């Protein structure tokens, strides 16, 4: 049996992740292989030294997660790092660092698709950043949609490669837990295809009980992620609906807290923040997003939240 545990890299998700991982013999992490990972698990490399090698946006999550992994390793669980897309992307960066040209990469079959997907998505993201500073609102919305389409293409390739790699190492009769972020839901579809029905595959949305308790929806996905998943699954989406999701995402990214939040007065700060921001942006139509975006485009998060709440009070 394979369980895909969809979650986020937040400390509040760890108790739910632990509960799932304890039930499985093999744990597959959503990261490319590191040369010193095995040394860290075995205790020959101090955890602090290993963590210094990581470029982490969530350092406390990584610390506590790796403490869990060390514990599971001592129990005899098989723990693997598996993210072929990122592994190939690292190879591409190393080739460029050695003085190779894009033509060299394009001539390498296993790297070509990753290079093109990454180039397309990065170009769309840079274009969006440029538009977001000064372009008219409708132009910024189109920039969001272009990036979401490019990101969806990259996401599909990434999950297809990972599903293939997982299917190759899964052992018959052994239970396997696969770590995955919420946006990586296409992995489920591709893993079903790659295993051809030879494995039972179940999905666990780790924070679902918490999100339901908080009154959240869509598994706390923001409108930009919802739009990307629509494109990834090639779902038919009216342009007006796509534009509304893109418009709301412009407000969402100004309001959501990007820093790692640790449990304190609240045990679930990230989930509460996501529920709060989604509730705000879900009230806005396209025209309201346009009016509000002009007010908060250059504001910091605190000021953007203040202006958004005032705007909703005035207009609702």
How far apart are alpha carbons 212 and 259 in whole angstroms?
23
Q: How confident is the model at residue 55 (pLDDT cuts 50, 70, 90)?
A: confident
For 74-117, the pLDDT digits (tens) are: 999 999 999 999 999 999 999 999 999 999 999 999 999 999 99
Average pLDDT on 31-48 reads 94
Domain limits, the chain: 2-86+157-214
CATH of 2-86+157-214, one of 1.10.10, 3.30.565, 3.40.190, 3.40.1010: 3.40.1010
Q: Which is it for the CA torsion 38, 40, 45, 50, positive or negative?
A: positive
Average pLDDT over residues 259-280: 91
H/E stretch holding 81 reads strand 78-81
Tell me what pLDDT residue 264 has: 83
Task: Report pLDDT for 263.
Answer: 86
CB < 8 Å & 24+ apart, contacts of 268-273: 268/12, 268/210, 268/214, 269/12, 270/8, 270/10, 270/12, 271/10, 271/12, 271/207, 271/210, 271/211, 271/214, 271/216, 271/220, 272/214
Residue 191 has pLDDT above 90, yes or no: yes
Give the pLDDT of residue 315.
86
Nearest Cα to Cα of residue 11 among 183, 208, 267, 202: 267
Does residue 181 register a pLDDT over 90?
yes
Percent of the chain exceeding pLDDT 70 equals 100
Tens-digit pLDDT profile for residues 210-224: 899 998 877 789 999
* Rounded mean pLDDT, 224-235: 93
- Binned at pLDDT 50, 70 and 90, residue 186 comes out as very high
Show Cβ contacts of residue 254 under 8 Å, excluding neighbours closer than 6 positions. 296, 297, 299, 301, 304, 308
Pick from 10-19, 99-108, 228-237: least confident: 228-237
Segment 149-168 shows an average pLDDT of 96
- In whole angstroms, give the CA distance from residue 71 to residue 75: 7
Q: Can you tell me which residue has the tokens 């779902």?
A: 235
pLDDT of 283 higher than 90:
yes
For residue 47, the surrounding DSSP H or E stretch is: helix 47-52
**pLDDT at 17 (0 to 100):** 95
Mean pLDDT over the full length of the chain: 94
pLDDT band at residue 245 under the 50/70/90 scheme: very high
Neighbours of 48 (CB within 10 A): 9
């Amino acid at each position: 049996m394979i369980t895909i545990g969809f979650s986020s890299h937040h400390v509040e998700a760890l108790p739910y992740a632990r509960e799932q991982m304890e039930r499985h013999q093999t744990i597959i992490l959503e990261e490319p292989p590191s040369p010193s990972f095995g040394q860290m698990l075995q205790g020959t490399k101090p955890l602090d030294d290993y963590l210094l090698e990581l470029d982490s946006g969530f350092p406390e999550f990584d610390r506590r997660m790796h403490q869990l992994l060390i514990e599971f390793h001592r129990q005899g669980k098989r723990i693997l790092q598996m993210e072929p897309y990122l592994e190939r992307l690292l190879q591409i960066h190393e080739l460029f660092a050695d003085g190779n040209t894009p033509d060299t990469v394009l001539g390498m079959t296993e790297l070509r698709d990753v290079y093109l997907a990454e180039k397309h998505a990065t170009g769309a993201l840079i274009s969006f950043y440029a538009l977001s500073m000064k372009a008219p609102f409708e132009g910024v919305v189109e920039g969001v949609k272009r990036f979401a389409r490019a990101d969806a293409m990259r996401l599909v390739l990434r999950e297809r490669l990972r599903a293939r790699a997982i299917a190759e190492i899964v052992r018959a009769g052994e239970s396997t837990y696969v770590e995955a972020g919420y946006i990586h839901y296409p992995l489920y579809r591709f893993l079903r295809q790659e295993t051809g029905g030879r494995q039972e595959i179940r999905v666990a949305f780790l924070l679902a009980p918490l999100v339901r308790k908080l009154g959240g929806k869509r598994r706390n996905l923001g409108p930009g992620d919802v739009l990307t998943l629509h494109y990834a699954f090639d779902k038919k989406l009216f342009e007006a609906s796509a534009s509304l999701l893109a418009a709301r995402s412009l407000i969402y990214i100004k309001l959501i807290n990007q820093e790692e939040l640790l449990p304190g007065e609240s045990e679930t700060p990230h989930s509460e923040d996501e529920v709060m921001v989604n509730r705000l942006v879900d009230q806005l139509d396209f025209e309201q997003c346009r009016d509000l975006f002009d007010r908060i485009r250059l504001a910091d998060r605190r000021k953007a939240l203040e202006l958004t709440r005032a705007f909703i009070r005035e207009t609702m």
